[in-house]
Amino acid sequence: MLVIVGYVLVLASVFGGYALMGGHFGALYQPLELLMIGGAAIGAFIVGNDGHTIGATLRAIPKLFRSSKKHDKELYMEILALLYVLLSKGRKDGMLALESDVDDPQTSAIFAPYPMLLADAPLIEFLTDYLRLIVSGNTDPFEIDQLMEHELDTYKHEAEAPAHALAKVGDALPALGIVAAVLGVVHALASADLPPSVMGELIAHAMVGTFLGVLLAYGFVSPLASLIEHKVGDSLKVYQCIKVTLLASMNGYAPQLAVEFGRKILRSTERPSFIELDGHVREVKNR
């Protein structure tokens, strides 16, 4: 929703200002300029990316126009509560007691109260994979830390591929606008025998190409790339929360302190307070 609001504001500001200065919108209506710029941008996007990146970008763009509260305080409260329950059972009964829960979380009594988490398959896979390594024994916290870091780096690289692809298109659009403008000027100069008024109109039409290229780049495409990067950062936080909590437990901290480690790395806008988390954990303990 905010993307649509932002786009409306961009259009209202640019074209509203143009109207207030007495500009004529008919001069801006140049579908052939838009065809040249848009077609060249799409072609360059296809040439510069593999099928995986193209598909990921096409899937990512529609999601940007929908409101999403996937990574909010409620989610973090749930993941920290689940981690607390798992680590408490492992501390009390031994980590091997978690083997059946880790192998099949969909039928586990521990995971059952958290349907929101179970619906996030990559998140559950990340959590259970590292719990499985911990359950197997002979794991060094430093090695687990490095392994998690490498996996998160890979996740970030893949998730940001659409952002990088769109950013490059955004960088290219002003130049493609100049290409369209130059072609328009060439067309105008090739008609040098026309009256000055007609020549002026042709040159004005040509300059619309530069305008469209810059507007599309900095008003539409580049902001989408930036938004994808922000969303990737949000999605990484929950994985980092799991990582820090598990490592704290491996280093000997009690479950209640381990989840506090996880709470501390969350952004202030989504981070539950100590009292909120403590109350939620107590509620979970009494279920």
Q: Is the pLDDT of residue 183 over 60?
A: yes
Kindly state the average pLDDT of the residues 223-229. 95
What's the confidence (pLDDT) of residue 215?
95
Q: Report the distance separating Cα 69 and Cα 190, nearest Å.
A: 56
Q: Is the pLDDT of residue 193 over 80?
A: no
Higher pLDDT, 201 or 252: 252
Position 153 confidence tier, pLDDT thresholds 50, 70, 90: very high
Q: Is the pLDDT of residue 223 over 80?
A: yes
Q: What is the DSSP letter of 120?
A: -
Higher pLDDT, 270 or 48: 48
Query: Average model confidence (pLDDT) for the chain?
Result: 90
Q: Name the region of 241 (left: φ>0; alpha: ψ -120 to 50; beta: rest).
A: alpha
The proportion of the chain whose per-residue pLDDT surpasses 90, expressed as a percent, equals 59
| Distance, CA of 221 to chain centre | 14
> Structure tokens of 14?
């640019």
Instruction: Enumerate residues 6+ apart whose C-beta is below 8 A from 140.
Output: none
What's the confidence (pLDDT) of residue 70?
63
> Structure tokens of 237?
């936080």
For the chain, domain boundaries? 30-287
Q: What is the pTM of this model?
A: 0.84
Position 275 confidence tier, pLDDT thresholds 50, 70, 90: confident
